[in-house]
Structure 1
Amino acid sequence: MAQITLEQVGQVEQIQSTIKEKNVELLHLQFVDIEGILKNITITADQLDDAVEGKIMLDGSSIKGFSPINKSDCYLLPDLNTFAVMPWTETDGYAEARFLCSVTNTDGTLFEGDTRNVLKKTVARAAEKGYTISVGPELEFFLFKTDEKGYPTTELGDLGGYFEPSPKDLGEKVRVEIFKTLKAMGFTIEALHHEVAEGQHEISFKYADALGAADLAITYKWVVKTIAAQFGLHASFMPKPVFGINGSGMHVNMSFFKDGENLFFDESDELQLSNEAYSFIAGLLENMKGFVAITNPLVNSYKRLVPGYEAPCYLAWSASNRSALIRIPAARGMGTRVELRCPDPSSNPYLTFAVIASAGLDGVEKGLQAPAPINEDIFDMTDARREELGIDSLPAGLEAAVAELEAGEIGLKTLGEHVFNEYVAAKKAEWDDYRTTVHAWELKNYQYKF
């Protein structure tokens, strides 16, 4: 079982104080499956000590991508930094709280099938070089109306447009309530607004270390869905839920720090970018096709990654051009960062941040050279012009993306054998199910005609 450090003793005492002050009776021990879907086991607050020591058991054979039935016993190890009271449960004399957990084996070692542990390994790999990884994700979502049973319909929650306020933006009151909830749970919120598409929204929060940012992303999705449901709405992080309008992305801003300094900043360079920043960009471009099945994991993901809807699908970078897959936001100094624009919010943030950091780290370790930036609008280019500039494109569908994942090195290197094999098998099964299903489009176009 887990050994408690002196620092953790202080944390536990603070948690016990909050539990007493808020009258917390139930603790939800949360973790994610291989797809990043949140799960939890609920215990009483009286079992806090057992939880902190990693004594709460989990049947891993029941979780997608975890353990076979003959090796099913796992344990949950709460991350004390993720303790938070759930504001919507608070009433007079009662409340509930949660921890995010890593999964361990029966001997206390980290379980290799837990995707949170995959990210931990990448963070440790960077730390061996003296680097810390900073990540700021931007997750967009849609709000849909629900039916009398609470199930989502295809009717959007509002008809507002980019940055529009109420009364057109009927989602404003929902965003404000989400903001209040996230703030109460420790988030630092930077902005909230209506996005480009009807019914689409974004609430941006402050960056954190890679593991912390993934924890925030998982928590954010959970809170958004929970609060939306209270308004009779369904929040969807599906990448392309509505044909003909913009889909939802999860732009990932990332930088490396060393000795407290941003490793990507160099004041003497024309773009004020360091050699490490250029090599990081080169690592992303070299490995991008090999990890897009992680950052864009659904059949539906590739209906967003088409020209014309602000979702970049061409392998290029620029200091400002938003049609490029990789962009360098204007901030410099400590705020210098690389923004990868193709990931979507259906992806597992632990795996997404791990493969992005790993690919960039490969570029830095190998001293790869980034190609020249592309400042023209890539969407308006002819195929011949893109070929002339050597601009490749992302795989056009999940099947091709999974094939690239299998053929490349970055996936297995980052995910480890267990998660890699389970993930590939799950995505192949997903594609096969989609491929063999008769869809409404086929019936509409073929049934009567033929």
Structure 2
Amino acid sequence: MSELREFLELSYSELEDLNLEAKEQRRKRVPAHVIQEQRLKYLTDEKRIKAVTVLFSDLEGRLHMLDYDKKFLVKSYDNLTFDGSSIRGFTAQRESDLRLGIDWSAFYWAPADVFGPGKVLVFGEVIDKQGGTYSADIRGVLKKFSQELHEKQGYTLNAANEIEGFLFEGTDAERLFHETGKFEYVNKGGYYHSLPGDPLREFIDMTAEVQRAMGFENEKDHPEVAPSQFEINYSYGEVVAAADQIQLYKLICRQVANQMGMTASFLPKPVVGVNGSGMHTNVSITKGGKNLFWDPKGEEKISKMAWSFVDRILTHGNDICLLLNASVNAYRRLDPHFEAPNQIKASAVDRGSMIRIPIGNEKSSRVEVRSVGPDANPYMVLYSIFKSGLDGETAKIKNLRQAERYLPDNVYTALENFRESAWTTKLLGADVKGRYADLKQASADRCPRLLGTVVKTPEIQFHHDVYNQLLWNLF
């Protein structure tokens, strides 16, 4: 039967060339109408494409995918309506009609053996009834914020994320946790002790190949400190592209693991007693190609602007903690016994600090926010870090950068800080702030209030990346 189908299947090297070319257009900010025209022409001319997968994220960062028939999309790309009331955190039923716009610059050719033949991917942006950015679509909010800064001040916001995860036996390890009560490692070696050909190494190799084919520009990949833990690093990018790549990274990892009969998990602390998973977020700002965070004569060789950026994030550390650590399980990771970055201070050497100043040069000088969990909404993470670092306040606390202050060790305290903060209202607006807090409150209330030493079923079941829709009706 398959020989009758002529669907697009490209080699990994062809995919990499196409994706790097598209990435360069995005980096150079080629006008949107030019890219749109190119992509529509390509879709029209390339007969082997059957469908376009449009990706968007809900308020909590859960990735949604809609497949549109290629011929339909080419004719109707400017009027793609969907029911927003079925997306958590979006609209009430009475105002359920939203539209999806296509961000043609965020266009990806994907390997047919992982995503299926005859498909391409593109990120969408949610549009409200007035035709503007929908306030609960944080990707759109981040994009607008980034574009305005570039237009008004010439700033380019850059980010690179180090995303850790675990690889567990079985294809539904998280969904079946309520039956098994435990996760099974696929490898017990840990840091640098995974041999070529073992399941963890094979998974890392395959995932890295897919990422390269999709234009990630990989740097290094390796098993992490804990057994069955992995991290696959790739180059930095402009802030919206960087957040898109986090979503694709997690999607690729899950898909590859699933095909290998395993589960890639991005829970921050799925196993008590070993190191958790983080998403260290490296950020910098450039203007006219110059890194504004670099100063060879500055303290730790970063500029006054960079230190002001750090001071504002430290000031708002407790305010935005819920945005950077979004699940009940994330507060297990903020445990000082496992190099946890739970101290609201900045340091070049102390890995327990919320912010680290890595050794850098003119190109790589940056600020690293270490307290971020890998299951947070990446658009929310990058928006809250950049917005706080640039527009936030600076507290008049003596020795702010080394003060004895700590992040919350439970989601309830984080929720209280978030709700009471005037800054988070400025950041998100009262409406979206309220929706986000309510979603997190509901998730917290379904879980045991005290974390204890045993990972509980509800904190896995209601982990927002794997949320089982069948369970919604139980509450």
**Structures share fold, TM-score greater than 0.5:** yes
1:138 has 2:194 as partner: no
Question: CA-to-partner distance for each residue in 1:137-186, whole Å, 9 max, x for gaps?
Answer: 11101011116999656111211211223158531111111111111112
Aligned letter for 2:380?
L
Structure 1 equivalent of residue 224 of structure 2: 195
Gap regions ≥5 residues in structure 1: 375-389, 444-450
Q: Is the 8 A contact 1:141 1:235 kept in 2?
A: yes
> What RMSD in Å do the two structures reach over aligned CA positions?
2.9
Q: Give the distance between the partners of 2:126 and 2:44, measured in 1 at CA.
A: 24
Question: CA-to-partner distance for each residue in 1:106-162, whole Å, 9 max, x for gaps?
Answer: 332111121212212432454444322111111101011116999656111211211
Q: Give the distance between the partners of 1:300 and 1:183, measured in 2 at CA.
A: 31
Structure 2 equivalent of residue 447 of structure 1: none
Q: Give the distance between the partners of 1:442 and 1:310, measured in 2 at CA.
A: 19
The aligned runs of 1:428-439 (5 Å cut-off) are 428-435=441-448
Q: Is the 8 A contact 1:126 1:361 kept in 2?
A: no
Q: Is the 8 A contact 2:114 2:255 kept in 1?
A: no
The aligned runs of 1:32-71 (5 Å cut-off) are 32-50=57-75, 52-53=77-78, 55-71=79-95
- Misfit runs of 4+, over 4 Å: 18-22, 89-92, 147-153, 365-370, 436-443
Q: Give the distance between the partners of 2:439 and 2:358, measured in 1 at CA.
A: 35
Aligned letter for 2:273?
G
**Cα distance 1:301–1:76, how it changes in 2: closer, same or farther (>3 A)?**
same
Q: Give the distance between the partners of 1:321 and 1:144, measured in 2 at CA.
A: 31
Among candidates 23, 26, 29, match of residue 51 of structure 2: 26
Number of residue pairs the alignment of both structures matches: 421
What TM-score, normalized to structure 2? 0.82
Aligned letter for 1:408?
S
Structure 2 equivalent of residue 342 of structure 1: 371
Among candidates 90, 103, 107, match of residue 83 of structure 1: 107
**Cα distance 1:275–1:261, how it changes in 2: closer, same or farther (>3 A)?**
same
Q: Is the 8 A contact 2:44 2:74 kept in 1?
A: no
Gap regions ≥5 residues in structure 2: 1-29, 178-182, 457-475
Q: Give the distance between the partners of 1:12 and 1:424, measured in 2 at CA.
A: 40
1:416 has 2:415 as partner: no
SS for the counterpart of 1:181 is helix
What TM-score, normalized to structure 1? 0.86
The aligned runs of 1:80-229 (5 Å cut-off) are 80-89=104-113, 94-124=117-147, 126-127=149-150, 128-146=152-170, 154-166=183-195, 169-229=198-258
Q: Give the distance between the partners of 2:55 and 2:94, measured in 1 at CA.
A: 23
Among candidates 382, 407, 410, match of residue 397 of structure 1: 410
SS for the counterpart of 1:171 is helix
Aligned-pair CA distance for 1:266: 1.4
Q: Is the 8 A contact 2:270 2:455 kept in 1?
A: no
Aligned letter for 1:31?
F
Question: CA-to-partner distance for each residue in 1:289-330, whole Å, 9 max, x for gaps?
Answer: 000000001111000101121221111111232222111111
**Cα distance 1:368–1:442, how it changes in 2: closer, same or farther (>3 A)?**
closer
Q: Give the distance between the partners of 1:10 and 1:30, measured in 2 at CA.
A: 18
Aligned-pair CA distance for 1:42: 1.1
Q: Give the distance between the partners of 2:261 and 2:341, measured in 1 at CA.
A: 33
Q: Which moved more, 1:308-317 or 1:365-374?
A: 365-374
Taking every aligned residue pair, what percent have the same amino acid on both sides? Answer: 32
Aligned letter for 2:420?
A
**Cα distance 1:82–1:408, how it changes in 2: closer, same or farther (>3 A)?**
same
**Cα distance 1:199–1:70, how it changes in 2: closer, same or farther (>3 A)?**
same
Question: CA-to-partner distance for each residue in 1:245-265, whole Å, 9 max, x for gaps?
Answer: 011000000111223211111
Q: Give the distance between the partners of 2:311 and 2:378, measured in 1 at CA.
A: 22
Q: Give the distance between the partners of 2:391 and 2:115, measured in 1 at CA.
A: 50
Q: Which moved more, 1:146-155 or 1:222-231?
A: 146-155
